[in-house]
Amino acid sequence: MRLGAIGVVVLVHQDLSRSAQAIRHWSQAGCAMVVHVDRAVTSSAHERFLRDLSDLPKVKFCARQRCEWGTWGLVAASQFACEMMLANFADPQHIYLASGSCLPIRPVQDLISYLEANSATNFIESTTVSDVPWSIGGLHKERFQLRFPFAWKSQRWLFDLSVRLQRALGLKRRLPQGITPHLGSQWWCLTRNTVSAILNDPKRPIYERYFRRVWIPDESYFQTLVRHHSTQIESRSLTLAKFDVQGKPHVFYDDHLEILGQSGCFVARKLWAGADKLYTAFPMASDTTRDSTGRSSDALNHLFAESAARGSKGRVGLYMQSRFPHQDPHAPLTAAKYTVLEGFFDLFHDFQAWLSQTTDNKQAQIHGHLFAHEAAVFAGQKTTIRGGLSNSATLRDNNPTAFLTNLIWNTCGQHQCFQFGPHDVQKIGKILPQDSNAQIFIITGAWLVPLSQSIESLAEIHAKALRLHAAESKHLALLRAPWVKAKVHIWPLSQIIANPKLRLHEILKTIEPNAKYPTTVPEINLDPIAFPAFVRALENQGMHRGLAGNLNSVKRMIAGPEIP
């Protein structure tokens, strides 16, 4: 291996200590180095950076440019650095453009050997505009047809106004004669002859005048002009750089150590400055079993394709500030199945305790009325549960759907079961029928049971019964709609009283598929003589008949194990 066989141009703009660490790796491998430091870096930080690298004689620093994303400054910085490389170092036969957040993954000697074996090849992603599927932001061919005098990040309002005006007026630029626009990654590795030809092209002022007003010229200037000065081009970057669906670069963290080590790539970008494990582990020792071409593995490409898909579609039931995907109309609203019980807490004495004892508390959580007006009644009377979910009614009612989806997501692995009824805040009642993960069991008219034990006057009880009946009727109408996705079971009160074990076994099976037939059931919380009389009295006051079913058909209403 001949030292200095490649020259490395590094563009630095932040995290200077990590950039210095990467530069040392390059330099210690014998590479000639030219570093450009963004003019936005403060003078004190710049001077400290120069001192940190002052012991490296083959590291030069070029004139500084302001390098704002999407503007000409990035191209100008690359040009200045390449000119200094050509003028100061005679050995490098390839020039590798990297950023301060790039880090060699494999030994730099592997890269040098590969480039020496391909001494006349230019490695640069260079694709015609019509063949590029990844440009994002609504500007595809227009990036070459319109003028972009304003920076997208710092002058967004002016940028958008300028684009709208040019579109409205039908303004279009003329391409310099003889060029066909190409796009590709900013990070390339070109031969010395090709870089020299581009920088010394007689038409360079013409090309620069045009590309200065192209949007994101660092992805098109060298990518276009390389086609004029070389025919030996391999249209790919030797730097591993992945992007999400918004066009933002993926950042590698410590937990990416294994996949980067197995990637086979020479260089990776963009590494988080706090990824101590990555900066300690790389560059790795030489391994002759790795792909000598430095191409990323199929497994890695598949992983990032899956990541991009997940970033756009999200995971079923997961909603958060950074990922709030469009809801798939065919997908469940929540992340896992859960059970909603309506009327059981009214009919059965201490039903929550019985259900908790009957089920495995490691597999299920039995909550009370999660949508009660006063507060959410979590299992164990907790005020906060996993995921930082508060029992505050104010927070819950601000977005009841988010409350439900967060509850199910953060408790994945435990089946969630809660009570709901006409006494509760009814907003979530419109959402439950739309969720295919919801398993809803309703005892119609069960709200009559606590009313039958009230000491209020019959007129007052009748007024309450009308309100509760109206709420239940609206809820049942939603659950019986043809578009309902939830699994719904609606039973009249009389049917449950007649055979509670059978119905409770159905509920238990939704919580634990292998649940056994219950040997006991909780005590039924009503007087078998007084309750039918109470219901008839309300019906005689004008309440709708049949809410609780045919109570006269119930011969015996005996609690627990004595029910056949």
Among residues 433, 421, 428, 438, the alpha carbon closest in space to that of 510 is found at 438
Domain end: 216, 243, 270, which one? 243
Co-location of 373 and 239 in the same domain: no
Separation of alpha carbons 374 and 389, rounded Å: 16
Under the banding of pLDDT at 50, 70 and 90, the label for residue 320 is low
pLDDT at residue 558, as a whole number: 41
CB 420 within 8 A of CB 402: no
Give the count of domains, the chain. 2
Separation of alpha carbons 433 and 448, rounded Å: 24
Considering the domain boundaries, does residue 275 fall inside one? no
Q: Report whether pLDDT(425) > 80.
A: yes
pLDDT at residue 243, as a whole number: 81
Q: Report whether pLDDT(195) > 60.
A: yes
**Both tokens assigned to 75:** 């191209």
Co-location of 232 and 375 in the same domain: no
Co-location of 487 and 384 in the same domain: yes
**Both tokens assigned to 47:** 């001077």
Tens of pLDDT along 211-267?
999 999 999 999 999 999 999 999 999 999 888 777 788 899 999 999 898 888 999
Co-location of 224 and 89 in the same domain: yes
Mean pLDDT of the chain: 88
Considering the domain boundaries, does residue 556 fall inside one? yes
Tens of pLDDT along 336-381?
999 999 999 999 999 999 999 888 878 899 999 999 999 999 999 9
Question: Where does 67-155 have alpha helices with state H?
Answer: 73-88, 108-117, 142-145
Tens of pLDDT along 63-76?
999 999 999 999 99
Higher pLDDT, 305 or 199: 199
Q: What is the mean pLDDT of residues 113-124?
A: 94
Co-location of 66 and 186 in the same domain: yes
Co-location of 22 and 163 in the same domain: yes
DSSP code, position 560: G
**Angle 391-397-401 (CA atoms, 0-180°, nearest 5)?**
95
Considering the domain boundaries, does residue 305 fall inside one? no
- Tell me whether strands 32-37 and 6-12 are parallel, antiparallel or unpaired: parallel
As a three-state string, the secondary structure of 425-472 is CCHHHHCHHHCCCEEEEEEECCCHHHHHCCCCCHHHHHHHHHHHHHHH
Looking up residue 234, the CATH number of its domain turns out to be 3.90.550
Tokens 């796009």 belong to: 183
Q: Is 295 exposed, middle or buried (0-12, 13-18, 19+ CB in 10 A)?
A: middle
Backbone angles phi, psi at 285, to 5 degrees: -70, 155
Co-location of 159 and 25 in the same domain: yes
Co-location of 212 and 351 in the same domain: no
Beta bridge partners of 233: 122
Separation of alpha carbons 454 and 162, rounded Å: 71
Domain that holds residue 378: 338-562
Q: Report whether pLDDT(559) > 50.
A: no
Q: What is the mean pLDDT of residues 140-155?
A: 91
Q: Which helix H or strand E contains 344, and what residues bound it?
A: helix 344-347
Q: Report whether pLDDT(126) > 70.
A: yes
Co-location of 238 and 346 in the same domain: no
524-547: b or e for each residue (b if 16 or more CB lie within 10 Å)? bbbeeeebbebbeebeeeebeeeb
Considering the domain boundaries, does residue 194 fall inside one? yes
Considering the domain boundaries, does residue 158 fall inside one? yes
Tens of pLDDT along 472-493?
999 999 999 999 999 999 998 8
Considering the domain boundaries, does residue 307 fall inside one? no
Tens of pLDDT along 414-424?
999 999 999 99
Considering the domain boundaries, does residue 193 fall inside one? yes
Co-location of 41 and 154 in the same domain: yes
**Both tokens assigned to 495:** 């049917």
Beta bridge partners of 98: 10
CA 470 to chain centre: 41
Domain end: 198, 222, 243, which one? 243
Domain end: 243, 259, 278, which one? 243
Q: What are the CA-CA distances from residue 321 to residues 324, 334, 436 (Å)? A: 6, 17, 24
Tokens 């997961």 belong to: 318
Considering the domain boundaries, does residue 11 fall inside one? yes
Q: What are the CA-CA distances from residue 358 to residues 226, 508, 511, 528 (Å)? A: 73, 8, 11, 26
Co-location of 344 and 206 in the same domain: no
Co-location of 184 and 61 in the same domain: yes
Q: What is the mean pLDDT of residues 485-514?
A: 90
Under the banding of pLDDT at 50, 70 and 90, the label for residue 555 is very low
Separation of alpha carbons 291 and 324, rounded Å: 39
Separation of alpha carbons 526 and 533, rounded Å: 12
Does this model's pTM top 0.85? My answer is no
